[in-house]
Amino acid sequence: MRKKRIMIIGPGGSGKTSLANAINETGGPLRKTQDTIYGKHTLDVPGSYLENPWMYMHMISLAQDASHLLILVDQSRCIDKYSPNLALAFRIPVIGVITKCDLNPENEEKCRALLKKVGVEEPYFKVSIPKGIGIEELKAFLFKEN
């Protein structure tokens, strides 16, 4: 049986690789890649999979190796790249994560509304990788569930 990992999706620049590094407790280069990165505990899915709806089938297929799906929205620039109710296409628990929560706090409600539109139910986790906000709470939730 394959090891189940935590799948992370979000638009380019939303903090997917930074969050994956924090969950895996590793450092690594932050660069745009066209490849899915298999980490110790994570599947870091390229933003292009989300930004091109014809690639959704690849995300759904990758979810077969996942225990959870994290859907990221970036509070510093809350842009909508998600199809409505996308979360309902997955058969694993889907968790909403608001990244860069220390930036542009006026966008928090917009990010929450976006997660609801995507079909993600609360609770949502607010994280900031550079400031270390919310990472431990998210990891405790994910690894308790596993």
Round to whole Å and give the CA distance between 37 and 137.
23
Number of domains the chain is built from: 1
Residue 9 has pLDDT above 80, yes or no: yes
Round to whole Å and give the CA distance between 86 and 33.
23
Domain carrying residue 118: 5-144
Q: pLDDT band at residue 146, thresholds of 50, 70 and 90?
A: low
- Residue 138 parent element (H or E): helix 135-145
Q: Tell me, yes or no, if the pTM score tops 0.85.
A: yes
CB 66 within 8 Å of CB 49: no
| Mean pLDDT (whole number) for 24-47 | 84
Tokens of 110: 């917009």
Q: pLDDT band at residue 24, thresholds of 50, 70 and 90?
A: very high
Nearest to 24 by CA among 9, 44, 10, 1: 44
CATH code, domain carrying 75: 3.40.50.300
Distances (CA, A) of 55 to 41, 63, 136, 139, 144: 23, 13, 32, 28, 31
pLDDT for the residue numbered 2: 63
